[in-house]
Each structure stands twice: as structure tokens, then as C-alpha cells.
Amino acid sequence: MFATLSDRLADTFKNLRGKGRLSEADIDATAREIRIALLEADVALPVVREFVAAIKERARGEEVSGALNPAQQVIKIVNEELVAILGGETRRLRYAKTGPTVIMLAGLQGAGKTTLAAKLALWLKEQGKTPMLVACDLQRPNAVNQLQVNGERVGVPVFAPEPGNGVGDPVSVARASVEEAKRKLHDVVIVDTAGRLGVDAELMQQAADIRDAIAPDEVLFVVDAMIGQDAVTTAQAFLDGVGFDGVVLTKLDGDARGGAALSIASVTGRPVMFASNGEKMTDFDLFHPDRMASRILDMGDVMTLIEQAEKAFDQAEALKAAEKLAGNGEFTLEDFLAQMQQLKKLGSMSKIMGMLPGMGQFRQQLENFDDREIDRIEAIIRSMTPAERDNPKIIDGSRRMRIAKGSGRTVTEVNQLVDRFFEARKMMGQLARGGGIPGMPGMPGMPGMGGGRPGKQKAQAKKGKGARRPGNPAKAAQAAAAEAEKRAAANPFGTPGGEDIDYEKAAAALDLPKDFSKFLK
């Protein structure tokens, strides 16, 4: 959604790096680039003016002039101002002290109110509430049926006494829904109202009548984040005609420029409360201004990633896998498959990776990532026998051919999976034991990385210094060749000193697999 804005801001901040002090010209140039980036992202002009003026004023102040790193200080200022225009703090739902909490959804047709009603119901259900959906959109064809289907998907009952399709009084349905919720002990009522293709008097009157009939605790304005500047105009019209307490942004996973999200809260004075960023019923959550600002500035959104992981991952399974990697048991392909299945619960891999800091520079690679690759890996593992999953070392050529046929993949893909599994298991095991990444050069002070104190390294270097080599490279090469020839004559097999080797003792020291001994005979 904010890809264009993120890229422009990143390019702007690159020009500030390495500068010890920011001149007036630097500040003006930066402000101009930020203004262009915001306008290109479809942010409303009054918001752009206010935003740029605040940045210029703070950039000229002492907080930047006295900073050790002016560039980072400017980024900090931009981040704080972005959080401010996005609403400042996370706004949560207000629940009624007595009786059911009534939430009314309003907005134009096509904004996604009906689907969002079900998403909100599922979210409330996960919070321990017992919501009920109310079908008050009696104008749009099949709107009532769509809400019933969505309600069934999320396991939430739907109150729909009228068939819709132009039949029924939405005000009467809304009024009766509150009594129905009290009778069946539902603590939250979500009222889905009708929309229009554009703002008109009839739409406003109907929404106002429903509001007056049920006295909702929260009126949420649902807006499509992809409609650009028109979102601000529509939001202002609803604010004047009906009034609302918060905004819900839908279709944040689209490819629009996202200016609506940066404009609505500032223009209307009403915070963005929720955001929907996908087609799944679970792609819905509270809107956090600070996290959204971090995403825009390519600082990632690690907190949201952690929260999603806590919901999706089985802690007992994760702990068991970690213990196996640390050496308490063998990490098998069966464990790997279980981890992959839990990872799939988080959603798209490109979306997950996009929450990590600095991933904006790999946006094209993330967009081109095929999420079906995980399904292909799962198909290969499921085509293996339990014995093969527990001990992948037994998978020989004929077994790999059978697995390839069973999974519909090629033998090459099976080979790649098995080889990568062994490499990954070795690396993760090393990390789990605190030994660092295999193959990485030694670093002083890092456990298991082959480093140590500089003084100790120097002593070891002096101890193993040995004979001096000639300074002339040609003579040094001749001396090395002569030494190698001398060793080869003394011991044709290259063993040090020519002594006999106890192969059984050497094999035991290597800790080879049990079935490997036959290759030493």
C-alpha cells in the first residue's frame, strides 16, 4: 500500500547521511522531497502543508542542530509526525457498562462493510465476547445472504428477520436486534447498514434513522483505502450527516498509494481504529499508528509479527523443536513439516517478511515469491514413509525417485530439499547451542565463533611461528614445493610424520553414523 511513499522517503533520507550538520538548504531540500512524496501518495493537500511545516520547524530547532547524527534525528522527527497525523495513539473500542454494546457500521457501497462486519465479529469472539451480526442492508441484492454466509464461516449468529433485496424496514430490524441480543445474552451487536455508490440524502437519512433508533456506543465509518482523495470527501460528508466515532480502513493490502489512511484521521479528527489487510477473515486487527509509521519508514513491524506468531504457533511444539535442535533428540523431517504448517498459519511469506526492518530494498523479490513453494515442500515430505522422515539418511536413489513420483515433483527437487534440510539442521543446531553460524569466520569475544582475546591470539600466533620463510616470493614457492616433495617421499599417504594410523580409533573420534563403519573396511 505505501510502497511508493516508502521508497521516496528512503531516497530522501539517503541524501542526509554522512552530514555532520544540516544547513538551511539541506532542510529545505528534504522538506521539498517529503512534500512531493506525500502528494504522490494522494495525501490531502492541507495535511501535507501541516506535516511539512511541522518537520521544517523542528528540523531548524535545537534537537537537530545539537544531535550527534542529524540524519537520524530528522528520521525520528518524521516518524513522530507520521504517528501524529495517523491518530497518535491506538484507539480501542468503548464497551457499554450495561446491556449489549451496539456497533454500527456505515459507509459507501463497495467499501467492504459486510465482510468487515464478520471480521470484526470474529475478532471480538477471540477477545472473549459473544457478538451477534444484524443484517440491516436490505437494499443491495444478496447482502443479507452474504452476511449469513460470512456469519456461518466465523461461527457468529446473524439476526436477519427480513429477506432484503429491497424488502423490509432496516430501522425496525435494527431496533428489534437490540432486544434479541438482550434475550439471547449477546454482549455485542454489530449492525451492517446499507450503502450507496455515492453520498446522497436518502443514504444519510436512513443511516441517521438507524443511529437514532439504536443509540450505538460506536459508529464506525468503513472506507476503502484504495479510493484516494475521494475518501476524505466522503468521510467529511458522513461526519456532517451521520457522525462517527472511528474509521475502519479496508483493502490495505492493495496496490493504491495509501493517502487516504494518512489523511482521514487528520482531516476529520476521528482516529483510525481498525484495519483490514487481506481476504481471510483473520486479516483484521487494531490499527496502531506507531506501527504503521514504522512500516512506511521501512523500520518494520516486529510487534505485530510477534503477536501473530503467538496466536499461530503452538508453544509446546515450538519448545519441543528447540530442544531437539539443542541436542536433546534428533530434529526430523516430521518436525520440520510441523514447523512449516505452523508457519503457514501466519499467512503470506511476503507479508511476514515485509514486517521485518529494512526489507523495503527486497520488495521486488518478496512480491515475486511464490507461496505455493511451501505446499510443494509439504507434498514431497508427505510422500516419504515415516521411517524416511525420522531418518532422512536412508533416502537413497531409488527412494528419491519414488518420492518424486509420489509428490509430482522432480528428483532434483527432492535432492535439493534433503540437502538443504541437513544444512539447515546443522546451522540451527549450532545456533541453538550458542556456537554461532557454521562457516562464519572467527570474531573476538563471540562464543563458538573461533575468536578470543587479541592478546591470546597474538601469543598463539607467536607460538606456532615456526621457521622463517624467504622474503622473495619465488624462493618461498620453491621452498614450499621442496618441503612438500620431501614429506611425500617419507609418507606417500600424506599422514603427518609417517606414523601408522589406528583407523578404528580415528572413526570413533569422528563420531560417524553406526552404519558408516562398512565403508571403512
68 is in an annotated binding site: no
What one-character-per-residue DSSP string does 100-169 give?
Answer: PEEEEEE--TTS-HHHHHHHHHHHHHHTT--EEEEEE--SSTTHHHHHHHHHHHHT--EE--S-BTTBS-
- 354 vs 153: CA distance, rounded Å: 28
512 is in an annotated binding site: no
505 is in an annotated binding site: no
Q: Please classify residue 519 by burial: count the beta carbons closer than 10 Å to its beta carbon, then call 0-12 exposed, 13-18 middle and 19+ buried.
A: exposed
> SS in 3 state form for 428-469?
HHHHHCCCCCCCCCCCCCCCCCCCCCHHHHHHHHHHCCCCCC
Q: Which ranges of 313-449 does DSSP label H, i.e. alpha helix?
A: 315-325, 333-344, 349-354, 363-367, 372-382, 386-390, 397-407, 411-432
Which of left, alpha, beta for 376 (phi over 0: left; psi -120 to 50: alpha)?
alpha
329 is in an annotated binding site: no
155 is in an annotated binding site: no
* Element housing 191 (H / E): strand 188-193
Query: CA distances (Å), 420 to each of 1, 358, 413, 416, 434, in order?
Result: 34, 26, 10, 6, 21
- 342 vs 316: CA distance, rounded Å: 12
193 is in an annotated binding site: yes
- 485 vs 477: CA distance, rounded Å: 12
233 is in an annotated binding site: no
12 is in an annotated binding site: no
252 is in an annotated binding site: yes
Which of left, alpha, beta for 140 (phi over 0: left; psi -120 to 50: alpha)?
beta
471 is in an annotated binding site: no
250 is in an annotated binding site: yes
35 is in an annotated binding site: no
347 is in an annotated binding site: no
- Which are the contacts of 459, defined by CB distance < 8 A and separation ≥ 6? none
195 is in an annotated binding site: yes
Do residues 247 and 273 touch, judged by C-beta distance below 8 A? yes
| Residue with cell string 455508490 | 197
456 is in an annotated binding site: no
- 140 vs 145: CA distance, rounded Å: 10
412 is in an annotated binding site: no
Do residues 275 and 248 touch, judged by C-beta distance below 8 A? yes
76 is in an annotated binding site: no
Q: Which residues are annotated as a binding site?
A: 107-114, 192-196, 250-253
Q: Which residues are annotated as a binding site for GTP?
A: 107-114, 192-196, 250-253
